[in-house]
Amino acid sequence: MEPTSRLPRRWFGLLFCVVLALTGAYGQKREKMLRISYGDWVEQNESLNSKDAIERTFEKVRAAGYTHILWRLLWEGHGYDHMVVHSAELKAQHERLKARLDGTPYAWDPHEIRWPIAVAHRLGMKFYASIVPYNEGAPPERTLPKPPLGLGKNWYQSKLVYDHPEYQAVDRSGKKVQYGILEWAYPEARRHWVEDVRQLVDRYDVDGIYMDTRTESPCPEFADQFGFNEPVVREYQRRYGVDILKEEFDLEKWRALRGEYFTQLLAEMSQVIRAKGKVFHLGTSRGDYLGYPLGNLKLDWRRWMREKIVDELHVDEHGWCWGSDAQPFGFMTDFPTGRGLKPIATAIREDYGPLARQFGIRLYLSCNPYRPRPFSEPCCQHRAAPSVPPAAKNWCDGLRGMTEFAGTLERQAF
């Protein structure tokens, strides 16, 4: 007969596994972050359209177990005074929302987050300001086809790209521009974002800055079409003695060089954020390349961990693009098919997890299983690949159980 004393041990083992799954590798309760895109939702329902509505919504969010609010700022992180808004409808919306708090301690100055921060903190939640540097906007007179979802009414650009379109990524001919996508080799492009981040951490009681590399910009024709800006050309020639505008060149060295400038942007942001004792959370693509739809820029995520440029990281963060029916091609990694990528569980267990543990970086799960869809429906998570089989229904549940994750990011569903 089995000794009865062994039964409690079995139950203890089961309890230990449950606790480990809930706490992760960090020995703390799993964090649960809610992503709120204010501009997308504020006038579509009544969840965020007033002080009282924000308060009621945040109370529900807290009751659902969320620990963090990731608030995507109305102008992607820029102040309204840094924008050129081409749409009268968009201007009117901004003024309507702003007027509701004018003359109060929570007035926009320039951002809309004083009241949401106060409510989140009163409820015991942390508040990260969410920025999107790869979304600088496009001009209304563009020659590309109109985007889906009626977004043509929402044309805007940052003043930087309006005044200096040359700071956007250009093709090898120098004639085509990747609208809304800054080339980080320009110090002015990096400073543009670093100073906006400085304003956020200096002026507002945010707990951190959340940045991701998603975009909603026009599609390139192929992956390596853009990135031939003058400072990139000059530095490549200095290092390797080759003029990439005229000669054959090493694509990998060029991709890595562009990636160095992106890492420089992150490092400059990190210095500003950490000087204020705030957290820097980055969401980007899995693997060694930025990928669809931005291009094959190299991601030196190992360096980001080793040098502690970021405090928190999650992968499988993807944007989308719009344009012609012909999809761009030539990407080194492909999220829908898994080309060039380890499965996410394997990548976390073998690559990201060990480095994160070694250098004290917190990993998070943002589970966005690919949903097959026709080419006529490009929005909104990665490219259309209708032949790819859908993920299993419990796919995200299996990933949530991985102890390498300190928590999860969830999308709003209110």
Render the burial of 103-121: b for 16+ CB within 10 Å, e for the rest.
eeebebebbbbbbbbbbbe
Residue 144 predicted with pLDDT over 50: no
Q: How far, in Å, are 22, 24, 72 from residue 367 at the CA level?
A: 17, 16, 18
Q: Which of 78, 289, 32, 66 has the alpha carbon at shortest distance from 200?
A: 78
Q: Which residue has the higher pLDDT, 25 or 291?
A: 291
Kindly give the pairing relationship between strand 289-291 and strand 312-314: unpaired
Mean pLDDT, residues 240-249 taken together: 99
Q: What does the CA dihedral 374, 378, 382, 384 come to, rounded to 10 degrees?
A: 20
CB 35 within 8 Å of CB 411: yes
pLDDT of residue 37: 92
pLDDT of residue 40: 81
Q: Which residue has the higher pLDDT, 165 or 322?
A: 165
- C-alpha–C-alpha distance, residues 411 and 137, integer Å: 23
The burial of 88, by beta-carbon neighbours within 10 Å (0-12 exposed, 13-18 middle, 19 or more buried), is given as: exposed
- C-alpha–C-alpha distance, residues 130 and 210, integer Å: 5
Mean pLDDT of the chain: 90
Q: Which of 20, 10, 113 has the alpha carbon at shortest distance from 71?
A: 113
Position 195 confidence tier, pLDDT thresholds 50, 70, 90: very high
Position 14 confidence tier, pLDDT thresholds 50, 70, 90: very low
Q: What residues does each domain of the chain span? A: 26-411
Q: Which residue has the higher pLDDT, 339 or 377?
A: 339
pLDDT of residue 90: 85
pLDDT of residue 235: 99
End-to-end CA distance of the chain: 55
Q: Which of 146, 258, 135, 148 has the alpha carbon at shortest distance from 196?
A: 135
Position 141 confidence tier, pLDDT thresholds 50, 70, 90: low
Domain 26-411 coded CATH 3.20.20: yes
Highest mean pLDDT among 4-8, 150-154, 236-240, 381-385: 236-240
Mean pLDDT, residues 315-344 taken together: 90
Helix (H/G/I), strand (E/B), else coil: 255: helix
Residue 317 predicted with pLDDT over 60: yes
What is the biggest distance separating any 2 CA atoms in the chain, rounded to whole angstroms? Answer: 83
- C-alpha–C-alpha distance, residues 143 and 192, integer Å: 27
pLDDT of residue 153: 58
Render pLDDT for 32-68 as a digit per residue (tens, 0 to 9).
999 999 988 787 778 998 999 999 999 999 999 999 9
Whether this prediction's pTM lies above 0.85 is answered by: yes
pLDDT of residue 71: 98
Q: Which residue has the higher pLDDT, 229 or 337?
A: 229
Q: Which of 270, 116, 123 has the alpha carbon at shortest distance from 208?
A: 270
pLDDT of residue 140: 77
pLDDT of residue 357: 99
CA angle 28, 29, 30 (to 5 degrees): 110
CB 180 within 8 Å of CB 323: no
User: Is the dihedral angle over the CA atoms 194, 197, 202, 206 positive or is it negative?
Assistant: negative
Render pLDDT for 255-284 as a digit per residue (tens, 0 to 9).
999 999 999 999 999 999 999 999 999 999
Mean pLDDT, residues 142-152 taken together: 49
Which of 19-28, 182-191, 196-205 is the least confident region?
19-28
Which of 67-71, 170-174, 386-390 is the least confident region?
386-390
pLDDT of residue 154: 64
